[in-house]
Structure 1
Amino acid sequence: MRTPAIFVAPARPSREVYFANAAHGLPSAPVLQALQDYLVEEAEWGAAQAAQRHETQLAEAYAAAARLIGADVDEVAFLESGNRALQALILSLRLEPGDHVLVDRSCWGGTLGMLADLPGVVVDVMPADANGRVDVSATAAMVHPATRCILLTWCPATSGIVNPAQAVGALARNIGVPFLIDACQMLGQRPVDVRALGCHGLAASGRKWLRGPRGTALLYVERDFLTAHPAFMADQIGRPRSDARMHEPGEANQAGRMALGVAIQAALTVGLEAIAERLAALSGHLRAGLSALPGVTMMESGEDLSAIVAFRIAGIPDAQVMADLARRGIRIGVLEKAHAPIDMAARELDTVLRAAPQVYTSEHDVDALVQAVADLAVMA
């Protein structure tokens, strides 16, 4: 990739061959430095003074976030997690008993739990095609008269499928309901344009593909939607905000926000098209290697796949595979049924293995993982 290496390489060399990037991308040196420097300033000046000293940089972080997703700066906010950002959007709808919400079958378990806590709200699951992607035509035929919202997981955590977000957005406009997107596993992988998507709200974690700090997230709220659906529990002192930042808590991790801004600016510097091309090449190389191994089953199918690679080894429990690979110095992840209960039940899975390369992953790393999986499969 033709870009300054400082934005691509992790700040510290990983102690393992690292494929747990769908859970946490390793930060670059500028991100780690921004986090450390701000914490030092808070220790020396106090939180209030440190925030004042960095007002310009924080404003630049919001501006970078807006550029990243094709929004206006008054439509973006920083929160503590992707699920907290989704919660802010859902609660702002002020759903009532009898209202229906359409979700995809890969909906995150925490989001389903949040919806289940809303009294009387009915969750309808959009039909899926043979690959597990949302079937938009079938979904259009099952829309309920009381459907009040469509909530889409753009890129699931449990497989590499990519849901047709733009087509689902068109359906939402046709039936006249808000369209909200969980982009936690997409933002930072590929270019995102909220105008083209036609979404009213979008939430994404900072610690995954953007390689920001844990405890950070980006929230987008379309301006007209924000006016019609203000924050459910605004937490500001004095004059209330009228922009998307009305969803932000009054007490926040300012160091994390500053570092997230640096991570976003780094992604813009590298270029989302270049990132997407690199991730597609690495994940394609990994899928080709794993799918050629006897005893290994790929747990995803379809032409458009993300950098999340899901697989299993026949005869070995997934948790044991992860542990065996860790002993060989290779880190992957295991997703359990609770993480995406509808999707996992549909595929009759209790767990699934997940490996995800990042821009700093080398072809040698990919080959090392494939060889290690091959060795384990032979012993099964």
Structure 2
Amino acid sequence: MTQHLELESRIGAYEAAERAQDSIDHAHEAIAALINAKRQEIAILDSATRAWGMAVAGIPFRAGDRILASPVEYGSNHILLVHLAERLGVSLEFLPLDANGLVDVAELENRLDERVKLIAMAHVPMHDGLVNPVAEVGALARGSGALFIVDACQSAGHLPVDVRRIGCDLLVGSGRKFLRGPRGTGFLYVRQAVASRLTPAVLGLDGVSWHSGTYHLAPGAPRFETWEVDAAARIGLGVAVDYALQWGVERTWRRVRHLAAGLRERLAAVPGVRVEDRGVERCGNVAVTFRDLDPFDVRAELLRRGINTWVCLDNAACHDMQLRGLSRLLRVSVHYYNTEEEVERLCSALEALTSGRAAGRTAGVFA
């Protein structure tokens, strides 16, 4: 990426892109290989939020149509669904969860009828360690005729994602999370057979072909793309996906699960810490709350010690977190490159914080 930006500064953006066109285009092929798709089924956009919004807004909803969504949808996706319901008169319904916090597949089947036009589900929520049964949902969706969109932002590069096995029509992912690619990159998978049913709300030169004063939409996912792109970011995304494929996602997934299981077991023994994860199969995202500490204060102290975590707020998973009475929690995510020693260092730091033994504790910070 830096080499390309330096080249742009020396010879110009168009000229640099011409020289690097193969590397820019390679990102599509890399993502297709990652999720077992075809090249023409992949569009690259500037974020997963953009990709998800473009896909859903391209569905021809009518008043009275129904959308079924999991209650753990990411906040931006939730907002768009509410917006569509208010603007178009469609019905937005959140699916119930079973005892393990997973979407109740049997209840989903009971709710399906000819009015259901879309099923939306997060593969892995941003605020929980659970993995939703997306393949089971995909089988139901395909039999019903409803479109099925999967949010794979937290799962792409984290665990195996195979669109053929899942049976989804649409899937979005982020370049900057477990794929470790550049920020400002997202991708959209559109199953070839359903692309003709979708009309993007915004069109660009790369999404159409001109014919005698009129235009025709591109035949696959490229209809969602625009001509102007961040060339350096696309190059970086392709390199990041290649790197993940070289390691092997099946292989790194085993490592992530091992580390996360050890982390959860260790955290459960720390006084004042509660592990909030649900599910049967659990991933590398570990969600915790604290009896006497604010997650923001904990994150700040951990960051001071060189440990990166993140605070999830209820506006980013409002339906589920508000139902559970959670306003904020700390997300600790492990990846294959982390070590058992780093897991122990994190847990020791949390023990010091919860017991009031944090070195250099500033008066009032943890009040």
- Letter matched to residue 77 of structure 1: A
The correspondence for 1:62, drawn from 13, 23, 28, is 28
The correspondence for 1:214, drawn from 173, 178, 183, is 183
The correspondence for 1:243, drawn from 197, 220, 242, is 220
Is the contact made by 2:28 and 2:42 (CA closer than 8 Å) also made in structure 1? yes
In the other structure, the counterpart of 1:133 is 102
Q: Which runs of 4+ in 1 moved over 4 A?
A: none
Indicate whether 1:283 and 2:252 are aligned.
no
- Letter matched to residue 74 of structure 1: Q
Residues of 2 paired with 1:346 and 1:174: CA distance?
A: 31
In the other structure, the counterpart of 2:4 is 38
Displacement of 1:112: 1.1
The correspondence for 2:229, drawn from 234, 252, 261, is 252
In the other structure, the counterpart of 1:7 is none
Residues of 2 paired with 1:243 and 1:178: CA distance?
A: 16
Residues of 2 paired with 1:122 and 1:110: CA distance?
A: 18
Displacement of 1:301: 2.8
Which shows bigger deviation, 226-235 or 44-53?
226-235
Once the two structures are superposed, residues 31-58 of structure 1 have per-residue CA deviations (whole angstroms, 9 ceiling, x without a partner) of xxxx101111211222222121122222
Residues of 2 paired with 1:87 and 1:274: CA distance?
A: 32
> Number of paired residues?
346
SS of residue in 1 equivalent to 2:355 = helix
Between structure 1 and structure 2, the one with the greater Rg is 2
In the other structure, the counterpart of 1:182 is 151
Indicate whether 1:47 and 2:13 are aligned.
yes
In the other structure, the counterpart of 2:330 is 353
Is the contact made by 1:312 and 1:352 (CA closer than 8 Å) also made in structure 2? yes
Displacement of 1:145: 4.5
Residues of 2 paired with 1:140 and 1:373: CA distance?
A: 43
- Letter matched to residue 358 of structure 1: H
Residues of 1 paired with 2:23 and 2:306: CA distance?
A: 38
Q: How does 1:138-149 map to 2 (within 5 A)?
A: 138-143=107-112, 145-149=114-118
The correspondence for 1:363, drawn from 336, 340, 348, is 340
- Letter matched to residue 368 of structure 1: R
Residues 111 and 302 of structure 1: is their aligned pair in 2 closer, same or farther, counting only changes over 3 Å?
closer
SS of residue in 2 equivalent to 1:319 = helix
Residues of 2 paired with 1:267 and 1:374: CA distance?
A: 34
Displacement of 1:321: 1.7
In the other structure, the counterpart of 1:12 is none
Residues of 2 paired with 1:327 and 1:60: CA distance?
A: 39
For CA contacts below 8 A with separation 6 or more, give which structure has more relative contact order: 1
Which shows bigger deviation, 35-44 or 252-261?
35-44
Indicate whether 1:91 and 2:60 are aligned.
no
Displacement of 1:295: 2.0
- Letter matched to residue 166 of structure 1: A
Residues of 2 paired with 1:312 and 1:109: CA distance?
A: 20
Residues of 2 paired with 1:327 and 1:54: CA distance?
A: 40
Displacement of 1:144: 5.1
Once the two structures are superposed, residues 247-266 of structure 1 have per-residue CA deviations (whole angstroms, 9 ceiling, x without a partner) of 11222111101110000111
Is the contact made by 1:131 and 1:300 (CA closer than 8 Å) also made in structure 2? no
Unpaired stretches in structure 1, ≥5 consecutive residues = 1-34
- Letter matched to residue 277 of structure 2: E
Is the contact made by 2:71 and 2:319 (CA closer than 8 Å) also made in structure 1? yes
Residues of 1 paired with 2:219 and 2:19: CA distance?
A: 24
SS of residue in 2 equivalent to 1:158 = coil
Residues of 2 paired with 1:185 and 1:145: CA distance?
A: 31
Once the two structures are superposed, residues 137-177 of structure 1 have per-residue CA deviations (whole angstroms, 9 ceiling, x without a partner) of 01111235421100110100011011000001011112211
The correspondence for 1:307, drawn from 280, 284, 292, is 284
CA RMSD of aligned residues (A): 1.5
Which shows bigger deviation, 40-49 or 173-182?
40-49
Residues of 1 paired with 2:301 and 2:350: CA distance?
A: 9
**% identical aligned pairs:** 35
Unpaired stretches in structure 2, ≥5 consecutive residues = 211-216, 357-365
Once the two structures are superposed, residues 86-121 of structure 1 have per-residue CA deviations (whole angstroms, 9 ceiling, x without a partner) of 111101112223221111010011111112222122
SS of residue in 1 equivalent to 2:234 = helix
User: Given the two structures, how large is their TM-score scaled by the length of structure 2?
Assistant: 0.91
